[in-house]
């Protein structure tokens, strides 16, 4: 019998539902269950692909090329599995299916309604994931009380009735607020949010309290009484800088055993040792590297969350702490040579992440030039490799007006140009070159040294590419195309010869990096940065 766990949120968004879902998933996987997570996003967009990272953070990409909410990144990293399009459902998708079925005549004269037709479609998507798994953990985005969430809450209430309460568990993640000069802890917002959930017909089984300070016995007692859960089902989730440690904190709080008991699953000895080892490495680094991320969303940390995590994994692989320094690419473009030097003097590595649009591009090109001229390890991701190539074309190959046709359609040297087939596209959603594609590696290159294999698969999300008309010229000047599509028509990786480590990938390696399985390119980038750190210290 498949078990269904539902995670809802209270009081504020970003309260930690995603990490809670991922952490609980980890604990259940460590007990040998097949677990699949599902993120429900109650917005109307079909997917996250067209959404602004300033508002919603990073757009994550799965193997099958779905552009999803960044929580899927947390799930993949914590659970160590690859997810598919079935793990992200939005209001837009649900209505789209129902409206299309209505046009197809499937409803045979019925009035098509929120209940049961929309709720049925929501349940169908949840049950579909349950077919091949022991446990489905569904996280409902937003907070209880939002206008968009009731159809989803109604659907999960019905699942409770249909599957029986021993097969369904409701977990509510809420905030403990702090007020006044004495920083008094307030449980009332959580009480109200549970009450709001009750009006929709759901009594939570467990309340997870996100808090800045420990829960006192008195607070636990109050929360238990007013939220209608046993004392031990009030779980503390204290703020932490080390999100990877949360599964272990939850294990100590007894969350997994409680869930097992509640779902009538036999308790099994958890295998948390690999995760614990990884946390030990994270907490006791032997070296350190300073990495500058040069991008335009530096004010919004979530916009580059997979990049941040992958850098951390690179640190884990090298037993080193990675300190990230944010450099705003727009400001960098206006900086004097001295100011640029000031930005990068202490840096052991420079990374330019992905992005769209002209804003900040010239600053990213400045960063690539600085890294090349000063032999600083450099890693360019998607837009980052495009900047690497533009800089190289301008300053090494003598094509001073080289550009990408994305940013200057009239450039005399479009060293980065449309991918074949992309030029004609008018519909923007879901039409980029997306998801896994193979890439063949050239021997005796940094890329080959990292992967140690001839063919790799990586995730993509782009419309532009290195222009083949310029490949020969660039190669003559010392750029190496170390990764190509199997038909050799698309450049996948470029690296600079005579440089300790300057590499860019047209794909997004950050999406495949996991804490228990750090990505080889991030591992080697950090290794190169550590080497530089040592040399500078001597």
Query: Residue 497: is it exposed, middle or buried by C-beta count within 10 angstroms (0-12/13-18/19+)?
Result: exposed
Catalytic residue among 74, 499, 508, 533: 508
The minimum distance between CB 507 and ligand GLN, in angstroms, equals: 9
- Helices 255-262 and 17-29: angle between axes, nearest 10 degrees: 70
Give catalytic status of residue 209 as yes or no.
no
Could you tell me which residues come within 8 angstroms of residue 116 by beta carbon, excluding any fewer than 6 positions away? Answer: none
Residue closer to ligand GLN, measured from CB, 211 or 382: 382
Q: Which stretch binds ligand GLN (CB under 6 A): 165-173, 200-208, 352-360, 391-399?
A: 352-360
Give catalytic status of residue 508 as yes or no.
yes
Tell me which residues in 189-228 interact with ligand GLN (CB under 6 A).
none
Phi, then psi, of 486 in degrees rounded to 5: -55, -30
- Please give the residue whose beta carbon sits closest to ligand GLN in the complex: 354
The minimum distance between CB 40 and ligand GLN, in angstroms, equals: 25
Catalytic residue among 382, 413, 439, 458: 382
Give catalytic status of residue 382 as yes or no.
yes
Using DSSP's 3-state secondary structure scheme, residue 407 falls into coil
Question: Do the beta carbons of residue 157 and residue 200 sit within 8 Å?
Answer: yes
The minimum distance between CB 446 and ligand GLN, in angstroms, equals: 20
Q: Which one, of 372, 428, 419, 431, lies nearest residue 397 by Cα?
A: 372
Residue closer to ligand GLN, measured from CB, 296 or 461: 461
Tell me which residues in 356-395 interact with ligand GLN (CB under 6 A).
356, 382-383
354 membership: H or E segment, kind and range = none
- Distances in Å between the Cα of 302 and the Cα atoms of 115, 308, 320 are 35, 9, 23
For residue 450 the two structure tokens come to: 């990292």
Tell me which residues in 399-418 interact with ligand GLN (CB under 6 A).
406
- In degrees, rounded to 5, the angle at the alpha carbon of residue 488 between the alpha carbons of residues 486 and 493 is 90
How many residues sit in the footprint of ligand GLN (CB under 6 A)? 10
The minimum distance between CB 58 and ligand GLN, in angstroms, equals: 10
Pairing of strands 168-175, 413-418: unpaired
Tell me which residues in 453-512 interact with ligand GLN (CB under 6 A).
461-464
Using DSSP's 3-state secondary structure scheme, residue 77 falls into helix
Residue closer to ligand GLN, measured from CB, 394 or 459: 459
Rounded CA-CA distance 343/330 in Å is 13
Question: Do the beta carbons of residue 485 and residue 437 sit within 8 Å?
Answer: yes
Residue closer to ligand GLN, measured from CB, 7 or 350: 350
- Distances in Å between the Cα of 194 and the Cα atoms of 9, 174, 198, 200 are 9, 9, 6, 10
The minimum distance between CB 509 and ligand GLN, in angstroms, equals: 12
351 makes contact with ligand GLN (CB under 6 A): no
The minimum distance between CB 100 and ligand GLN, in angstroms, equals: 30
Question: What letter would DSSP give residue 345?
Answer: T
Residue closer to ligand GLN, measured from CB, 250 or 481: 481
Residue closer to ligand GLN, measured from CB, 461 or 532: 461
The minimum distance between CB 381 and ligand GLN, in angstroms, equals: 7
Residue closer to ligand GLN, measured from CB, 355 or 515: 355
The dihedral formed by the CA atoms of 19, 23, 25 and 31, expressed in degrees to the nearest 10: 180
Tell me which residues in 319-338 interact with ligand GLN (CB under 6 A).
none
Positions touching ligand GLN (CB under 6 A) are: 354-356, 382-383, 406, 461-464
The set of catalytic residues is: 382, 508, 510
């Amino acid at each position: 019998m498949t078990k269904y766990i539902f995670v809802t949120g209270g009081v504020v968004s970003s309260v930690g539902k995603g990490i809670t879902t991922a952490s609980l998933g980890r604990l259940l996987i460590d007990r040998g269950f097949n677990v699949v997570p599902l993120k429900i996003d109650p917005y109307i967009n079909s997917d996250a692909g067209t959404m602004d990272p300033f508002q919603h953070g990073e757009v994550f990409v799965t193997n099958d090329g779905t552009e999803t909410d960044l929580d899927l990144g947390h799930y993949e990293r914590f659970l160590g599995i690859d997810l598919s399009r079935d793990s992200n459902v939005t209001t837009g998708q649900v209505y789209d299916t129902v409206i299309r079925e209505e046009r197809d005549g499937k409803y045979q004269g019925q009035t098509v309604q929120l209940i049961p037709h929309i709720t049925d479609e929501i349940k169908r998507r949840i049950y579909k994931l349950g077919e091949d798994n022991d446990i489905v953990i569904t996280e409902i985005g937003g907070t209880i009380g939002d206008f968009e969430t009731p159809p989803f809450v109604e659907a999960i209430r019905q699942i409770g009735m249909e599957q029986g309460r021993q097969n369904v568990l409701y977990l509510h993640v809420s905030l403990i607020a702090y007020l006044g000069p004495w920083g008094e802890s307030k449980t009332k917002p959580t009480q109200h949010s549970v009450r709001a959930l009750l009006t929709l017909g759901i009594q939570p089984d467990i309340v997870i309290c996100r808090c800045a300070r420990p829960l006192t016995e008195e607070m636990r007692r109050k929360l238990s009484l007013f939220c209608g859960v046993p004392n031990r089902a009030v779980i503390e989730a204290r703020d932490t800088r080390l999100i990877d440690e949360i599964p272990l904190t939850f294990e100590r709080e007894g969350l997994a055993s409680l869930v097992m008991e509640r779902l009538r699953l036999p308790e099994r000895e958890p295998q948390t040792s690999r995760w614990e080892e990884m946390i030990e490495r994270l907490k006791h680094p032997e070296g350190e590297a300073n990495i500058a991320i040069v991008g335009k969303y530096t004010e919004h940390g979530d916009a580059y969350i997979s990049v941040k995590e992958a850098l951390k994994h690179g640190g884990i692989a090298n037993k080193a702490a990675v300190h990230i320094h944010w450099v705003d690419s727009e400001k960098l473009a206006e900086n004097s040579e001295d100011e640029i030097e000031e930005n990068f003097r202490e840096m052991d590595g420079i990374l330019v992440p992905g992005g769209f649009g002209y804003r900040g591009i010239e600053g990213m090109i400045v960063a690539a030039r600085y890294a090349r001229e000063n032999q600083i390890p450099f890693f360019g991701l998607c837009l980052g490799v495009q900047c690497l190539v533009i800089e190289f074309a301008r300053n090494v190959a003598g094509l001073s007006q080289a550009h990408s046709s994305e940013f200057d359609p009239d450039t005399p040297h479009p060293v980065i140009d449309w991918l074949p087939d992309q030029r004609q596209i008018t519909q923007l959603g879901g039409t980029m070159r997306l998801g896994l594609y193979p890439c063949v590696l050239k021997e005796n290159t940094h890329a080959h040294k990292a992967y140690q294999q001839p063919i790799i698969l990586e995730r993509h999300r782009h419309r532009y590419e290195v222009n083949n008309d310029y490949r020969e010229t660039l190669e003559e000047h010392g750029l190496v195309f170390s990764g190509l599509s199997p038909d050799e028509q698309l450049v996948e990786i470029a690296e600079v010869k005579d440089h300790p480590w300057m590499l860019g990938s047209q794909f997004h390696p950050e999406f495949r990096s996991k804490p228990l399985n750090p990505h080889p390119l991030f591992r080697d980038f950090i290794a190169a940065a550590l080497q530089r750190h040592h040399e500078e210290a001597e």
